[in-house]
Structure 1
Amino acid sequence: MITTSPWKLTIIALFALSAIGGTAFSLSAGAVYVSLADIWDALQDPAASHRDVIWNIRFPRTLVAALIGINLSLSGAILQGVMRNPMADPHIIGVSSGAGLVGIAVLILFPSYAYLLTPAAFLGGIGAALVIYLLAWQGGISPVRVVLAGVAVSAFLNSGISALLTFYSDRVNGALLFMVGGLATRSWPHVSLLIPYTLLGGTLALIGVQRMNVLLLGDAEAKSLGLRVEGMRLYLLAVATLLAASSVSVVGMLGFVGLIVPHAARLLIGSDYRFLLPASALLGVTVLTITDTLSRIMFAPVELPSGILMGVLGAPVFLWLLRRRGA
């Protein structure tokens, strides 16, 4: 595999073009097809014929999809580095389950406090991540222990979610969509909610990019270079959880994005986080904007939740990537 910087920059440029293409596809496709020229007119002219469809419905939903794609992809990439496990992602290791349990508890038990959903989901996610980290740590991080601890904690938390849905079956309408993950009815308030978390999480991730590369050398080598390994892991764990929890609070427990996207980017661009983070973010925009658009149009007028389509398409793609790598 070519690993020179020009190759990596070329891949990032291609991912940027694919992100633009996915965004354009999301804006143009739907019950009413809107050409790119009409989209531009609608964004510029308040009196344009498709202004309401583009500005009030498709544009904010597309921005939400892009921001969620960035957040989950960055979260997955960080977790895979921190845990030294390419199978780690917010959904599989239980971070999303922790955020989801608290989020569903707020929706079902305290609906009047729905405005606290994001900070509550963050606390649930960071709590789950810390438990998994403590269970997996035994003189260092073992990739096998991370997966086993994550699966166990996720199963425990999912049991809590099931219990809430069972005991409060008369209040589960919104919670069911939250469990599956979807972008239906997402609009400008959700964009405003996500942007600060994306900017903060992305900035904090970029600040730690060099230290993430040092962590890849192993604990002993990282400590010999002066890195406070456990402190850095906790910092990155908090950043990944912030990104994942903000996404869960807006679109629910959307799986596979944080697993597939960073893994696919790594196969093409390598493990250098200076390139991997921007590549993952751009590819995340592409994947989620296209997936969300397909979920809207495949069975129109019925809309399929994006989480279902992501699982159906994501599992075969992930297996194909593993076979190409020879894993």
Structure 2
Amino acid sequence: MARGPEPRPAGAAAPGEAGGNRTRILSPYLGLRLKGRYELIQVIGRGGMSTVFHAVDHVRLGARAGRPDVAIKLVTLAPPHDTAARALIHREAQRMLELIHPNIVRVYDSDHDGDRHFLVMELLRGRTLAAILRDRRGRGLDGPQACGCIRSVGAALAHAHAHGLIHGDLKPGNVFICNDGRVKVLDFGLAQRTVQAPHDDEDATIRLLDQVGALTPRFASPERLDGCPPTPACDLFAFGLLAYMVLSGAHPFQRRTALEARAEGVGPRRPEGLSAHRWRALKALLAFDPAHRPARVEEFTNRFLAQSVLAQAFALPNLRARWRAGAAFLAARRSSP
């Protein structure tokens, strides 16, 4: 069956991705049809363990389905680490099938064709947050878009934690801004359970991750870099790093790791234009000591996204109400230690 013109997809962190001048990446896998079904037609992203392709599902195409295009994440890591990467990609599928949320990329299945192991996902059209921030050259997103991004990523992270999963690799390259404005969190390949399920060997998983060098040091918490097992607090620290970059366009520790920043006494500077109450909320996420971070994602997002008391006072409908609320605010500030 003949196909119409191919859509122009955009995927995760494709080299050369910038505006309309996207470089087409060649791969020996292009034209391959996995399981006689998924035809790989364009590279849309590359990571340390895998390559992501725009693919056509010929089963859906033959059935005249409205959306035959999917994304295929194919393990392309060379030996001796390919075995670990294959195990991780099927484990990722198992995790992702549990996480149905509008701000988390959908994973439909995993399979293998001989020694080619792959994940089948929804095809997203847009760009990664990393690519967008690169183009903005040290400037964060505009105010409403920044808050919307932080709200969406926070919702995705809260949903994962509520289902007992730690993302483990939250960073701008794993956040996708769709052309229609939707925000999707990608790549739960490093996700681990907060409570170990029967027959679910998390220690073995950590050994697999160590084999393939999966951790991204500049977006890892200090305790994770110290070799401690991942916890929800590690995700919160990474979320703080990401939120800071969304707001300012820069890494809070000038691209140092958390361990380097802590050792050198380097702390984040307040992003220009960020209100005092939002800065206090964000600084708490970036605490080197996990005990000083919020216990839950929602504690941060509720505090960060809420208007300050004074802003709420000035939003009141009449002058007398504003005066009373402002006076109460100032009285409370004077009486606070």
Establish whether TM, by shorter chain, passes 0.5. Answer: no
Provide TM-score, normalisation by structure 2: 0.26
More helix by share: 1
Which protein is richer in strand relative to its size?
Answer: 2
Calculate the TM-score normalised by the size of structure 1.
0.27
| Higher RCO (CA-CA < 8 Å; seq separation 6+) | 1
Structure with greater Cα Rg: 2
